[in-house]
Amino acid sequence: MREDGKIDYVEWPAADLPRTKRFYAEAFGWRFTDYGPDYAAFNEGLDGGIHSGADSTGAKVPMVILYARDLEAMEAKVRAAGGVITHPIFSFPGGRRFHFRDPGGAELAVWSEK
Protein backbone atom coordinates (compact mmCIF):
# COMPACT_ATOMS: atom_id res chain seq x y z
CA MET A 1 0.00 0.00 0.00
CA ARG A 2 1.31 3.44 -0.93
CA GLU A 3 1.99 5.87 1.92
CA ASP A 4 2.61 9.61 1.99
CA GLY A 5 6.27 10.56 1.95
CA LYS A 6 7.60 7.03 1.33
CA ILE A 7 9.93 6.10 -1.52
CA ASP A 8 7.65 4.68 -4.20
CA TYR A 9 9.44 4.80 -7.55
CA VAL A 10 12.85 5.40 -9.10
CA GLU A 11 13.75 6.30 -12.66
CA TRP A 12 16.84 7.16 -14.63
CA PRO A 13 17.81 8.34 -18.11
CA ALA A 14 19.20 6.23 -20.92
CA ALA A 15 20.80 7.60 -24.05
CA ASP A 16 19.92 4.33 -25.82
CA LEU A 17 16.71 2.91 -24.36
CA PRO A 18 16.54 -0.36 -26.35
CA ARG A 19 20.15 -1.21 -25.49
CA THR A 20 19.62 -0.30 -21.83
CA LYS A 21 16.48 -2.46 -21.61
CA ARG A 22 18.34 -5.34 -23.23
CA PHE A 23 21.16 -4.99 -20.68
CA TYR A 24 18.83 -5.21 -17.66
CA ALA A 25 16.87 -8.05 -19.23
CA GLU A 26 19.99 -10.09 -19.96
CA ALA A 27 21.92 -9.28 -16.79
CA PHE A 28 19.09 -9.41 -14.26
CA GLY A 29 16.06 -10.93 -15.99
CA TRP A 30 14.01 -7.72 -15.82
CA ARG A 31 10.82 -7.31 -17.86
CA PHE A 32 9.48 -3.98 -19.07
CA THR A 33 6.20 -2.32 -19.97
CA ASP A 34 6.68 0.25 -22.71
CA TYR A 35 4.85 3.57 -22.54
CA GLY A 36 5.66 4.95 -25.96
CA PRO A 37 9.09 4.94 -27.59
CA ASP A 38 10.80 6.95 -24.83
CA TYR A 39 9.73 5.26 -21.57
CA ALA A 40 9.84 1.74 -20.17
CA ALA A 41 8.58 0.83 -16.70
CA PHE A 42 9.69 -2.08 -14.53
CA ASN A 43 8.59 -3.76 -11.31
CA GLU A 44 11.62 -5.53 -9.95
CA GLY A 45 11.42 -5.18 -6.17
CA LEU A 46 10.73 -1.47 -6.49
CA ASP A 47 8.71 0.09 -9.29
CA GLY A 48 10.62 2.30 -11.67
CA GLY A 49 11.25 3.42 -15.19
CA ILE A 50 13.94 4.21 -17.70
CA HIS A 51 13.48 7.11 -20.12
CA SER A 52 15.14 8.51 -23.21
CA GLY A 53 14.51 11.72 -25.08
CA ALA A 54 15.49 15.34 -24.55
CA ASP A 55 15.71 15.06 -20.76
CA SER A 56 18.02 12.04 -20.83
CA THR A 57 21.12 13.96 -21.92
CA GLY A 58 21.84 15.70 -18.59
CA ALA A 59 22.92 14.18 -15.31
CA LYS A 60 22.87 10.39 -15.31
CA VAL A 61 21.63 9.91 -11.76
CA PRO A 62 18.49 8.10 -10.64
CA MET A 63 15.48 10.19 -9.61
CA VAL A 64 13.95 9.03 -6.33
CA ILE A 65 10.20 9.60 -6.35
CA LEU A 66 8.08 9.82 -3.20
CA TYR A 67 4.31 9.34 -3.01
CA ALA A 68 1.55 11.70 -1.84
CA ARG A 69 -2.21 11.26 -1.72
CA ASP A 70 -2.68 15.06 -1.89
CA LEU A 71 -0.03 16.49 -4.19
CA GLU A 72 -0.83 20.15 -3.53
CA ALA A 73 -0.67 19.66 0.24
CA MET A 74 2.66 17.84 -0.04
CA GLU A 75 4.08 20.57 -2.27
CA ALA A 76 3.11 23.12 0.40
CA LYS A 77 4.82 21.01 3.09
CA VAL A 78 8.00 20.76 0.98
CA ARG A 79 8.07 24.55 0.51
CA ALA A 80 7.37 25.20 4.20
CA ALA A 81 10.22 22.88 5.22
CA GLY A 82 12.70 24.77 3.02
CA GLY A 83 12.58 22.74 -0.19
CA VAL A 84 12.85 24.54 -3.54
CA ILE A 85 10.38 23.52 -6.24
CA THR A 86 12.37 22.90 -9.44
CA HIS A 87 9.44 21.69 -11.60
CA PRO A 88 5.92 22.72 -10.54
CA ILE A 89 3.11 20.14 -10.61
CA PHE A 90 2.65 18.63 -14.07
CA SER A 91 0.66 15.76 -15.53
CA PHE A 92 2.02 12.60 -17.12
CA PRO A 93 0.36 9.34 -18.20
CA GLY A 94 -0.70 7.77 -14.92
CA GLY A 95 -0.74 10.80 -12.65
CA ARG A 96 0.87 14.09 -11.70
CA ARG A 97 4.10 15.08 -9.98
CA PHE A 98 6.48 17.86 -9.00
CA HIS A 99 10.24 17.99 -8.49
CA PHE A 100 12.08 19.70 -5.64
CA ARG A 101 15.58 20.28 -4.34
CA ASP A 102 16.21 19.62 -0.65
CA PRO A 103 18.46 21.88 1.46
CA GLY A 104 21.40 19.53 0.81
CA GLY A 105 21.06 19.94 -2.96
CA ALA A 106 19.50 16.57 -3.88
CA GLU A 107 16.65 16.66 -6.39
CA LEU A 108 13.69 14.33 -5.84
CA ALA A 109 10.09 14.17 -7.02
CA VAL A 110 6.69 13.53 -5.48
CA TRP A 111 3.86 11.92 -7.43
CA SER A 112 0.17 11.10 -7.07
CA GLU A 113 -2.38 9.26 -9.17
CA LYS A 114 -4.74 12.27 -8.90
Q: Residues 47-64: pLDDT tens digits?
A: 999 998 756 555 578 999
Task: Determine contact, residues 40/19, Cβ cutoff 8 Å.
Answer: no
CB of 90 closer than 8 Å to CB of 98: yes
Q: Classify domain 1-60 at the CATH topology level.
A: 2,3-Dihydroxybiphenyl 1,2-Dioxygenase; domain 1 (3.10.180)
Residue 13 makes CB contacts below 8 A (sequence gap 6+) with 50, 51, 52, 55, 56, 57, 58, 59, 60
pTM: 0.82
**Amino acid occupying residue 7:** I
Intervals of CATH 3.10.180.10 along the chain: 1-60, 68-114
**12-38: average pLDDT:** 93
Beta carbons within 8 Å of 4's beta carbon, 6+ residues apart: 67, 68, 69, 74
Q: What is the pLDDT of residues 62-106, one digit of tens each?
A: 999 999 999 999 999 999 999 999 999 999 988 999 999 998 888
- Out of 3.10.180.10, 3.40.50.300, 3.40.605.10, 3.30.420.40, select the CATH number for domain 68-114: 3.10.180.10
